[in-house]
Every structure is written in C-alpha cells, then in structure tokens.
Amino acid sequence: DGGITQSPKYLFRKEGQNVTLSCEQNLNHDAMYWYRQDPGQGLRLIYYSQIVNDFQKGDIAEGYSVSREKKESFPLTVTSAQKNPTAFYLCASSQTGLGEQFFGPGTRLTVL
Amino acid sequence: QKEVEQDPGPLSVPEGAIVSLNCTYSNSAFQYFMWYRQYSRKGPELLMYTYSSGNKEDGRFTAQVDKSSKYISLFIRDSQPSDSATYLCAMKRDSGGSNYKLTFGKGTLLTVNP
C-alpha cells in the first residue's frame, strides 16, 4: 500500500531534550511538509522540501530543524529551543507544489 | 483580518440531514481550494480539491467555490454518523514561491446523531 508513515505515534520528552520525528512516504512524491496542529487551531507550516537536499522554512520554523537526504524521508527535529513543543505534528507529501497534499497519521509530542 | 475564517462550531445534526460547511477568505490570490476531514487523533484526509470557481461533486459531497464573494462551501447529503469529524478548509496560490503553502481554516467540528 502506498502512503505516509510517521513514527512514533506518541512521544514524551523532558524539557531540554531534542527529539526527532520520523516521516516516510512511498508515493514517489517530490515535495514533503511538516505541520503543527494545536487544539482548536488550524495547521501551521513548519518546514517544507521541494526536492532532495533542499528545504525552506515555513511560518513557524524557529526551534525546529529538518533534513532531506532521501526522497522518501523527511525527519523533523524538535530542539530544546522550541519554547512550546507540545502539539500534534503532521507530515504531508505531494507530487508537486500544485498537487494535492496527503497527510500521515501524525505524532503527538508531549513535553513533561 | 485572518486570511481564512471558518466557524469552529460545534455543529450537531440528525442522521440524514444536509450539512453545509463554509469558509471565507481575504486573499484574492488563492486559486486552489480543498476540504479535509479529520477524525479525532488522526491525520487529515483529503475529501475535495477544486480549482477556481464552480461546483465539484463526489458521491454525497459537493464542494462549491465562489471567488467573487471569497466564499467556499462543502455540502454533505444524507449525512451519516461516520461523517462525524472535524472538517478543515484549505487553500493556496497557484504561482510563485508560495504555491507550496496551504493556508488552513481552524476547522468545524461536526457531529451526526443516529
């Protein structure tokens, strides 16, 4: 089955720790995205990547970092610099920038 | 003024009702319009994807775009309890560096009661 997988589903982190969220897609899509969703809020774009080895900041990139070494993988690191990291994180991909974006199942991060 | 406004609800309807969900927007550069359905604690699922003004139908779902009024709608006919979810509208420009970015409404929580 083609799709987007995210792991882990739930993640707990102590303050001051960096954590990395995994996102993998087998749709052969060029573009990948990371969004953050807070209760009662729409999705906000953190980073996106149009091609391998290239990525751009979204609206709320501070405290986050990404890499795109392979077409199918786009991991997100939540650093200790992110002041309010507890949220639901969603990864998405699309064939091109104009194509439909399809989402993974999400990772819920809680900072203890 | 926010770029995309969506009534958060909650909206509660009886099974079989016609549901109307709406978003307004302020940026006339938006050309592509989407509706996503999101069940609790799950990722959003793309329901409808439309370009420019007009209607698009897919089964019980109809998406309507009125660019002159900057208003989009999603209609659900013969609503079912399984339609209970949060519905998110999203839109984007069609050119330039911003065409990758989706701008989302905050979502409307819908409950369909058996």
Q: Average pLDDT, whole number, for chain A?
A: 92
Query: Measured between CB atoms, which of A45, A103, A106 is closest to B101?
Result: A45
The predicted-structure confidence for B55-100, as pLDDT tens digits, reads as follows: 999 999 999 999 999 999 999 999 999 999 999 999 988 765 556 7
* pLDDT for residue B98: 55
CB contact under 8 A, B46 and A100: yes
Question: Quick one: B109 exposed, middle or buried, by C-beta within 10 A (0-12, 13-18, 19+)?
Answer: middle
B interface with A, Cβ–Cβ below 8 Å: 4, 6, 8, 32, 34, 36, 41-46, 49, 88, 90, 94, 97, 99-107
Query: Measured between CB atoms, which of A56, A58, A97 is closest to B99?
Result: A97
pLDDT confidence band for A58 (50 / 70 / 90): very high
* pLDDT for residue A42: 84
The predicted-structure confidence for A10-57, as pLDDT tens digits, reads as follows: 999 998 899 999 999 999 999 999 999 998 788 999 999 999 999 999
